Amino acid sequence: MSVSQTSAELMETTARRFESVNGSLDGMLRRLMHELDGLRTQWTGAGGRSFEQVKQAWAADQEKLNRALAETATAMRTAGRQYAATDSAAAGRFTAHQSLPL
């Protein structure tokens, strides 16, 4: 039987890591595109049009990736909060039973 273990803190740390990677990746890819845009002015005709089409497709893919990373971070954070709430509720139930007279 497989056992999974986690904590709310680990989930929050993981969510922050997803956000950090998302920001770093977004910045790096934007800088790269800015550099390529400088070359765009030198491309004319079919080559220039092809570059523009690829650039638009790339931008759409980058947006999907950014959204997926952000949504994963949000889901991880939400799961961590739910985990913490469930853990606290379970602890409260055990505490309530400890105070019962035997």
Residue 18 in any domain: the answer is no
Write out pLDDT tens, residues 15-70.
Answer: 999 999 999 999 999 999 888 888 877 888 888 888 889 889 999 999 999 999 99
Residue with tokens 């491309």: 43
Residue 37 in any domain: the answer is no
Write out pLDDT tens, residues 75-91.
Answer: 999 999 998 888 778 77
The DSSP letter of residue 100 is S
Residue 65 in any domain: the answer is yes
Domain count, the chain: 1
Residue 31 in any domain: the answer is no
Cα–Cα nearest to 15, from 87, 79, 82: 79
Residue 62 in any domain: the answer is yes
Q: Which domain holds residue 54?
A: 46-80
